[in-house]
Structure 1
Amino acid sequence: METEALADPDLGDHRRRHVRGTLFAGSTADVQDAVRTADRHGTALYPVSTGRNWGMGSRTPVTDGCTVLDLRHMTRIRTLDLDRGYAVIEPGVSQRELAQRLEGTPWMLNVTAGCADASFVGNTLERGDGTIRARSQDLLGLEVVLGTGELMTTGGLDRHGRLPGSVAGPDLTRAFVQSNLGVVTAMGVGLIPRPEAITLINATFTRPALGSAIDALTRIGRAAFAGTGLFRLKELFIVPESGSPALPETADPEVLTIQGPLLGSRAGVKAAEEGVRDIVAGADGLVSYRALDTATTPADDPLYARTLFARGIPDCRSLRQGLRVNSCDQADRAAVGWMMFLPVVPLDHDILIRSIDIFSTEAERHGTAGMLEFNVTSPHSTNMVVQIPFMRDPDSTHRAHSLRAAARKAFLAAGFPPYRSNIDQAPDEIADRAFGYLDGPLDGLKRLFDPAGVIAPGRYINGADGRRGSK
């Protein structure tokens, strides 16, 4: 039997799993060989792109006994079609690399506020949110190695890296999002047309005006202004009576922010900005309102990094500042730990207030702070982002983990299940999201695509029989 060792610590201080080692794949053929070898030897593989799934486990497997299959060396941009606006990329391609390739072209990238060197493929498969839209809207098609070693493509993506568009017949693309049905080795990505103008809206409100700010956010989210990017209610700090030394130095619990980009022609952006300004100006508790031309914002402006995101340029400075590190390579060993809790919450005034109250109650009970954000992903729904920073002493770490577990239980009871999970709770998400839910059909897909349970045991779908890592 292979000797197992403890995985490296991760930013969220999850339980360190025992791993068999790490395999590095440089091509789709390497992945196929690794899968077939694991099948023959009765072992399990846990694929990671660049391993920067911070706050949810980083590169640590869900279960013990896996071999990490590291795809960081799969860095080819197989196709960059500047006529039709799509790219086909491998898992090791970072958002920085793709954004740089798009400089000076008619297209730009939907970047996140995360690490510039994080994998675009990995974050999209985890359903991350970009600055312009949810990353799920960027996903066009996939190349996937199944647990049998077979290769399949989805979404109309062909074996030559061409994407004519959606083709006839069932499309299984979404089956490989947040799943363990296969190893994704390439992704078709839709790009954003580079607009004539981009304006970043940033409005701050007093904390007592939270309800009024939520009403303004809801109106913006449903107004359908032309060129509206993804608007957020953010920087809502929940601080217990005991305080929190782990919060960023810039944290101000007395205010909160609505922020989002507007993209399009100069006339279109001007009209949309006037509409947003009218909504915000009518809200109570407005402290400041800024509409920044992202092309001319100076580098010393506090919102400069946010204007870069709106222009499709990733930047790590705010992230490093929050983690108190000089390099993102130090993140998993930062002095400050960081966890994420990510439920989906309807875009409704009373429900958003209720979700904040639920988390506030648990934060006070566990003596641990949280930073809340609501990303408006549709006129009906928000992705709630709860960041839980903590000092990495045993007591603070325990309280942070207890807070996330208690918040998850309370949000499930309220009907607000997670839309994205972590390595501790992913095995239970499907079964827990509704009383009496049966996941037999998903188990059937797992048995079909990965009959021996080779790929990422415990990652959402648990139903495959066979030779897997153990909890």
Structure 2
Amino acid sequence: MSELSTAVDSPVATGSVPGSAALRAALDAAGRVLGEERVARPAGDAARTRLLGPNTSLFRSRRVAAVLRPTTAEQVGEIVELFSREPDSGSLHAISTGRNWGLGSREPAEDDAVVLDLGGLDRVRALDLDAGWAVVEPGVTQGGLSRLLAHTPRMVNVTVSAAATSIIGNALDRGVGLRGQRTEDLAGLEVVLPGGETVRVGWWPGAGRTAPVYPHGLGPSTLPLFVQSNLGVVTAAVIRLPARPEALRVTRLGFPAPALAEVTDTVRRWVAQGLTRGVPRIYDPAAGASYGGAEGEWAVHLPVDGTAESVAALTGILTAEARRSGLFTEISATDGADPARPHHEVTRLVERAYAGDPDITDTLFRAKMGVGADKVDPEAGFLFFLPLLPFTGEAVAHADRLLREAAQATGVRLSATLHLLGPDLIDCVVAMKFPHEDDAAARAHRALDLLYASFADAGFAPYRLDVDHAGQRDALAVDAAAVALTRRLKAVLDPNNAIAAGRYR
């Protein structure tokens, strides 16, 4: 593990460019396309691991050949074509806003990549509030789009991360919002293929087009090929915009750790019977502390939305069910509405997020991370582990034991949030915070390795991989032939490995 890298504040337009003659020629041509001011090159070999600046997880800083910063989709097509010409031209690693925190931030999976920073593509190209969609570019953030939709009947499926995070970047890596999995928000993609050709897959708006939004089309659906993919560079997406609810309320529950399995099965019944909406969440004591959870206790957030009458009715049913169960030490459905309640402010922020309004000031984000979004990479120590669990009390209790074993073995503080993605599936978000120093980072990375091993042994595979575990895909695959099929597609579409050579390899 390397020490924390020193950030490079401004591009270096001169200096030696390591690598092959083909790579140097491609970078020179990229400079002519973009202008040299939008090409950052390392001043020397030692600077190649510092070009991206620090990453919050203290993953090994990769050697980077250059950073390219286009501002239009047309420029992206030209750049991809340049790097597709020869096998030695190098590989492009595309990022959106670069805030893939806990999984690598801006880092590519492999050394010697050329980073294609798409943050300058930041337009909302089109918006249809009646049909419920927006065409956005990779640099569009959830905070930016939510501000555009303020006081309209549509909203964004936001995550609990910072307002300045990319919608497309998160969706393409199968992130989870408070209304559901963000892959379900993708209706269409504009993709630059190796060679520079641009295609639009799924549903796409056109002049005079009145067809409803339907991403699957006729015949084989190609949109999913570009999710967690190294087959192309996405320059825009059609994002679904859910209808904004007329009313919304979050019921808060608290319970002691010994009741975990029984509470999980109880909440599963409520989810299966449609008593909640969006993505309910269960927090372990460490995760729940940021939301006002009682010390040492687990917490539950159950969102309900709809008309005012339906929200009142369903909230009443949930609270009555919770009381009858005898499992909970705290039951409250009024924290967000009653300023006198002790957790009013935090619950109000949670309810606003469920209603598509991210915390623009990042109040909760700062409380959880200890710093603002602009300070996460240089100052915070943070890792993610993201397994999927069956929605059963037995599985959740098993996962909790594995987390406690890893924490005990390493001394690392772990926190877990369970996103309930329907009656059968849980997205378990495990966060590891640590001081930005080598010993603490080494212990956190050891905990991460233990979790990858122990959860795989239990049959709980991750749905996203960090840059240091990109090679785990083969070991975690259900069918090796399916992985081989994607590699055959890669060989056909990208024979010169121009795009993200190490991504989900």
State the TM-score, normalizing by the size of structure 2: 0.84
More helix by share: 2
SS of the equivalent of 1:148 reads coil
Give yes or no for contact 1:213–1:284 (8 Å, CA) kept in 2.
no
SS of the equivalent of 2:318 reads helix
Give yes or no for contact 2:179–2:354 (8 Å, CA) kept in 1.
yes
The alpha-carbon distance between structure 1 residues 160 and 358, as it changes in their structure 2 partners (threshold 3 A), is farther
2:381 maps to which residue?
A: 337
> 2-side partners of 1:113 and 1:160: how far apart?
35
Shift of 1:360: 1.3
Structure 1 position 237 matched with structure 2 position 237: no
Structure 1 position 109 matched with structure 2 position 156: yes
Structure 1 position 51 matched with structure 2 position 98: yes
2:136 maps to which residue?
A: 89
> 1-side partners of 2:102 and 2:228: how far apart?
16
2:26 maps to which residue?
A: none
SS of the equivalent of 1:108 reads coil
Shift of 1:285: 4.2
Residue range with higher mean Cα deviation, 183-192 or 357-366: 357-366
The one of 34, 39, 55 aligned to 1:10: 55
Structure 1 position 213 matched with structure 2 position 263: yes
Residue range with higher mean Cα deviation, 31-40 or 115-124: 31-40
Per-residue Cα deviation, 1:64-115 (whole angstroms, up to 9, x for no partner): 1011101111111111101111111110000011101111211111111101
**AA aligned opposite 1:165:** V
Long gaps (5+) in structure 2? 1-16, 19-43
1:384 maps to which residue?
A: 428
2:373 maps to which residue?
A: 328
> 1-side partners of 2:75 and 2:337: how far apart?
43
The one of 303, 318, 323 aligned to 2:364: 318
> 1-side partners of 2:264 and 2:322: how far apart?
10
> 1-side partners of 2:501 and 2:403: how far apart?
30
1:228 maps to which residue?
A: 277
Give yes or no for contact 2:154–2:243 (8 Å, CA) kept in 1.
yes
The alpha-carbon distance between structure 1 residues 67 and 159, as it changes in their structure 2 partners (threshold 3 A), is farther
- Map 1:70-85 → 2, pairs under 5 A: 70-85=117-132
**AA aligned opposite 1:80:** L
> 1-side partners of 2:291 and 2:165: how far apart?
25
Give yes or no for contact 2:191–2:235 (8 Å, CA) kept in 1.
yes
2:110 maps to which residue?
A: 63
Greater relative contact order (Cα 8 A, min sep 6): structure 1 or 2?
A: 1
> 1-side partners of 2:419 and 2:397: how far apart?
15
The one of 119, 137, 148 aligned to 2:184: 137
SS of the equivalent of 2:346 reads coil
State the TM-score, normalizing by the size of structure 1: 0.90
The alpha-carbon distance between structure 1 residues 292 and 76, as it changes in their structure 2 partners (threshold 3 A), is farther
> 2-side partners of 1:157 and 1:257: how far apart?
41
- Map 1:364-443 → 2, pairs under 5 A: 364-434=408-478, 439-443=483-487
Shift of 1:418: 0.3
2:254 maps to which residue?
A: 204
The alpha-carbon distance between structure 1 residues 249 and 237, as it changes in their structure 2 partners (threshold 3 A), is same
The one of 277, 282, 291 aligned to 2:324: 282
> 2-side partners of 1:142 and 1:267: how far apart?
38
> 2-side partners of 1:148 and 1:318: how far apart?
43
The alpha-carbon distance between structure 1 residues 236 and 348, as it changes in their structure 2 partners (threshold 3 A), is same
The alpha-carbon distance between structure 1 residues 218 and 300, as it changes in their structure 2 partners (threshold 3 A), is closer
> 1-side partners of 2:392 and 2:319: how far apart?
21
> 2-side partners of 1:366 and 1:449: how far apart?
44
SS of the equivalent of 1:442 reads helix
The alpha-carbon distance between structure 1 residues 46 and 126, as it changes in their structure 2 partners (threshold 3 A), is same
Give yes or no for contact 2:290–2:364 (8 Å, CA) kept in 1.
no
SS of the equivalent of 1:420 reads coil
More strand by share: 1
1:348 maps to which residue?
A: 392
RMSD: 2.4
Shift of 1:287: 2.3
**AA aligned opposite 2:250:** L
SS of the equivalent of 2:68 reads strand
SS of the equivalent of 1:301 reads helix
Identical-residue share of aligned pairs (%): 32
> 2-side partners of 1:433 and 1:252: how far apart?
39
**AA aligned opposite 2:105:** S
Long gaps (5+) in structure 1? 239-246, 462-471
> 1-side partners of 2:227 and 2:415: how far apart?
26
The alpha-carbon distance between structure 1 residues 438 and 204, as it changes in their structure 2 partners (threshold 3 A), is same
